[in-house]
Amino acid sequence: MWLRDISITNFRKFSEFRTELSESVNIILGPNASGKTTLIEAIQYFSTFSPIKPFDMDKDLIKFGESFSIIKSHVIDDKGYENELVVSLQLDQVIKKKVKLNQENSSFQKISSLLKTVTFLVEDFYIVIGSPSYRRKILDNLVISIYPEMLGTKIQYKKLVKQKNQLIKKIIDSKSTEDIDLIKAYNAKISELAYKIFQKRVEATKFISQFLKERLGNVSVKYKTNIYDALKDNYHSVESIRNLLDSNIEKELKLGKSLYGIHLDDMVIISDEFKNEARLFLSQGQIRIISILVKLGIASFIEGKTGKKCILLIDDILGELDEANKKSILKELLSTGNQTVFAFFSDDYLKLFESNYKVIKI
């Protein structure tokens, strides 16, 4: 599966832009702030339907002063058939988002199952040194890309935890214990959802960990969770999670919030040599290499689970690496055989590529 072309209208800074794409390697060249990331964002929007920047909203994608935006592409599927994809954003009182497949209305879930992308960004170093919430988001986006039904599970879990925290505050303010049984009811449902999410997250984490160990030897990934740390080895049932939550109700009422749950979990990069978090011992270049390999592991995991090769979208991430590591990482990226789209600010990077690439100048 690969994109034959991409065209955008009123998307970010572009009024109109269109380019053909190579099935193999594409290199976008342009100075800073020329729109390289915008083009990458337009491609990844077909699979995620959300902006690259975590705090941006769909309305931010529409060019300033305009009321709509359109992204269009022709996708060649695994059987060689061409499919036309169109996503439109209409700015009204609220954003209206529509998607069409071969000129017929379609669903976001259907399109995201057809097209898979993994985006490599400069800020990916947060995978190693950033907050747990950053890594949880990456892990959950990966899980949802493979198991779309987990989006509803995640939303429902988040809603129930919020409602439970509101109930805890109500009980504290009222100094009444009448609603304790209601907390237990929340715990029962939260436990079911937490176990489902935990299983999928751990499955992905184990794969990424093995992927890193095969390439780096002394770096692995650990899924860190306060629920299962508390339960030790006794976490093989929803009931054991529920019992843990119920046994800590009194403590939660004293502190005014939920103390256990997968909303507090983390995916930690570990140095096996030092038996501690890798971020404490690594150089900037090493952090960059690990973050790139984590993203490659994500692409490999998606392919293994769905049978679909991800389009790799690589936004100027090699700058912190020396020449040898640039070549090593580039070799790893190109060895996948996936369609790749690189973005660089300088044509000096072209010397790293041997042949068979398409240059797109912005």
346-362 pLDDT tens trace: 999 999 998 789 999 99
Ranges of residues in the chain whose predicted pLDDT is under 70: 228-236
Cβ-contact 11, 61 below 8 angstroms: yes
- The token pair at 324 is 């040898």
- The token pair at 52 is 């690259």
Cβ-contact 67, 91 below 8 angstroms: yes
Q: Provide the 8-state DSSP code for 336.
A: T
Cβ-contact 5, 39 below 8 angstroms: no
pLDDT of amino acid 234? 53
pLDDT of amino acid 53? 83
Q: Is 328 exposed, middle or buried (0-12, 13-18, 19+ CB in 10 A)?
A: middle
Q: Provide the 8-state DSSP code for 62.
A: B
- For residue 104, count other CB atoms closer than 10 A to its CB: 7
- For residue 279, count other CB atoms closer than 10 A to its CB: 18
User: Could you give phi then psi for residue 291, rounded to 5 degrees?
Assistant: -65, -35
pTM: 0.92
151-205 pLDDT tens trace: 999 999 999 999 999 999 999 998 877 788 999 999 999 999 999 999 999 999 9
Distance CA 112, CA 306 (A): 12
pLDDT of amino acid 349? 93
- Which domains does the chain possess? 2-116+308-361 (3.40.50.300), 132-278 (1.20.1050.90)
